[in-house]
């Protein structure tokens, strides 16, 4: 009985270490091409293995005419590939703010809390003080490497 219990405990510890090691090295890289005449602010969301891993994070600024690579660490491709999204906004000079977001009737997993003007990290169910719940636009990821943990995508904003 003690041998069986020791085996189960050892196996559980090895599995936990392996999962944590994979997670620590995992990353999603998003290349943003801003071909517009004004800066853009972007936030991203992803759903992980369970609700505790569902995250929204922002803001990442990309200046007018620039390209920026944004690396989101501790995000695993094989858990987030079908549920990764973005929300972007920009204000052309002298005009109203433009938003790139999901529709209000999108699946609930693409609705996350954000703060409209401050850096934030949020989730599905936990409101952010001064924030609001918004719908993110789905984004297709591509698996990179052979670890099944890394992914990438490219977003291009044209005039």
Q: Where are the domains of the chain?
A: 2-157
Cβ neighbours, 10 Å, residue 36: 16
Structure confidence at residue 20 (pLDDT):
41
Structure confidence at residue 150 (pLDDT):
87
DSSP for 21-90 reads: HHHHH-EEEEEEEE-SSS-EEEEEEE--SSGGG-EEEEEEEE-TT-EEEEEEET--HHHHTTSEEEEEEE
Residue owning tokens 């719908």: 135
Q: How far apart are CA 63 and CA 65, in angstroms?
A: 6
Structure confidence at residue 83 (pLDDT):
85
Structure confidence at residue 14 (pLDDT):
45
| Blockwise average pLDDT, block size 10, the chain, 159 residues | 63 46 69 98 84 83 98 76 89 95 72 91 81 90 77 94
Structure confidence at residue 54 (pLDDT):
84
> In 3D, which of 82, 71, 86 has the Cα closest to residue 134?
86
């Amino acid at each position: 009985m003690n041998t069986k219990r020791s085996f189960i405990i050892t196996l559980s510890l090895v599995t936990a270490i392996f999962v944590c090691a994979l997670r620590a090295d995992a990353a999603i890289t998003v290349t943003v091409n801003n071909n517009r005449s004004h800066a853009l602010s972007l936030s991203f969301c992803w759903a992980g293995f369970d609700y505790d891993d569902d995250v929204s994070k922002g803001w990442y600024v990309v200046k007018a005419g620039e390209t920026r690579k944004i690396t989101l660490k501790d995000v695993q491709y094989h858990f987030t590939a079908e549920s990764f999204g973005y929300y972007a906004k920009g204000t052309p000079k002298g005009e109203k703010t433009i938003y790139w977001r999901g529709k209000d009737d999108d699946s609930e997993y693409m609705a996350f809390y954000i703060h409209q003007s401050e850096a934030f990290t949020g989730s599905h169910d936990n409101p952010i003080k001064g924030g609001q719940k918004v719908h993110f636009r789905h984004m297709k990821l591509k698996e990179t490497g052979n670890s099944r943990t890394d992914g990438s995508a490219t977003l291009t904003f044209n005039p």
